Structure 1
Amino acid sequence: MKGHCLCGNVTIEVEDIDTVEACHCGMCRRWGSGPLMAVHSQAKPDIKGQNSITVYSSSDWAERAFCHKCGTNLYYHQLGSDEYVLSVGLFQDINNFDFTSQIFIDKKPDYYEFANVTVELTEQQLFDKFAKKGMNP
Structure 2
Amino acid sequence: MGERMTGHCLCGAVQVEATHDGAPKLRACHCDMCRRHGSGPFFSINARVLSVAGPAQSYRSSDWAERGFCGTCGSTLWYGTVADGVRHLSAGLFDNAGGGTLAVEFFADACPQGYALAGSQKKLTTQETIALFAPREEIDQ
| TM-score bracket for this pair, using the shorter chain length | 0.7 to 0.9
Corresponding position: 1:46 with 2:51: yes
Aligned alpha-carbon RMSD (Å):
2.0
Decide whether aligned partners of structure 1 residues 30 and 68 sit closer, same or farther in structure 2, where only a CA change above 3 A counts: same
Rounded to whole Å, the distance in 2 between the matches of 1:33 and 1:129 is 24
Paired AA for residue 64 in structure 1: R
Aligned twin of 2:12: 8
CA contact (8 A) 1:45 1:84 kept: no
TM-score computed with the length of structure 1 as normaliser:
0.86
Instruction: Provide the secondary structure at the position in 2 that maps to 1:89.
Output: helix
Q: Deviation of residue 45 (structure 1)?
A: 3.5
In the alignment, what sits opposite 1:31? 37
1:1-137 superposed matches below 5 A: 1-16=5-20, 18-41=24-47, 43-49=48-54, 52-92=55-95, 96-130=99-133, 134=136
Q: Deviations over 1:108-131 (max 9, x none)?
A: 100001111110000101223347
Which segments of structure 1 move beyond 3 Å, counting only runs of 4 or more? none
Is the alpha carbon distance of 1:61 and 1:94 closer, same or farther for their aligned partners in structure 2, counting shifts above 3 Å? closer
CA-CA distance at 1:81 after TM superposition: 1.1
The count of aligned residue pairs is: 131
Secondary structure of the 1:128 match is helix
Distance 1:90 1:79 in 2: 21
Could you report, residue by residue, the CA deviation over 1:74-124 in whole angstroms, capped at 9, with x for unpaired residues?
A: 011101214211110000155531211101011110000111111000010
2:20 maps to amino acid: D
CA 1:72–1:129 in structure 2 vs 1: closer, same or farther (change >3 Å)?
closer
User: Which structure 1 segments of 5+ residues have no match?
Assistant: none
Q: Which runs of 5+ in 2 are unaligned?
A: none
Q: Percent identity over the alignment?
A: 39
Q: Is the 8 A contact 1:44 1:82 kept in 2?
A: no
